[in-house]
Amino acid sequence: MKIKCKICGTPIERDTAYKIVKNGKNLYYCSENEYIDYTNQQIKLAQQKQRMYEAIEYFIGKTTNTALFKEINIWLSVADYDTICNYLTDNKSYISSVMNKDFSSEYAKIRYFSAIIKNSIGDYKPSKPEPIKTAETEFYETKYQPKRKRKCLADYEDGD
């Protein structure tokens, strides 16, 4: 009997598929490696989301307003979670200074914050760490010794 892989959707035989029982349901995958890679990806994505929400919470505070989630979906059409997190951390001082004003409502604060992000996230390039430059220099021992300075008549007049 043919079943579909839950990740890629390819039809595979039930006997050769990798089976996981979750909440009383059988879930089938092409292979164990594909399942492990998929779960690791999901964990990484969840960590990136959490990091982004913590950065947003720093600027606008804790909120359950659904306008924030709609705005985040618009940001995600331009950039991924990692890029948004990097943008928020790199421009923390600028965004904090701009957001330091009184808003009439939480919705207005979210829209203003989102406008700042939308205007500059497309042009944002993450800063790359500067490569360490190594210079190979050679030092030579010199045998040069300066000649003794000749004394002039003025040196003898001073009383040395």
User: Tens digit of pLDDT for each residue in 48-91?
Assistant: 999 999 999 998 888 888 899 999 999 999 888 989 999 999 98
Q: How far is CA 139 from CA 22, 136, 142, 152, in A?
A: 68, 10, 9, 36
Residue 42: per-residue pLDDT: 93
Q: Which helix (H) or strand (E) holds 27?
A: strand 25-29
User: Tens digit of pLDDT for each residue in 118-154?
Assistant: 998 888 887 777 888 887 788 888 888 888 888 777 7
User: Tens digit of pLDDT for each residue in 8-41?
Assistant: 888 888 888 888 888 888 888 888 888 899 999 9
How wide is the angle at C-alpha 55 spanned by C-alphas 118 and 69, nearest 5°? Answer: 55
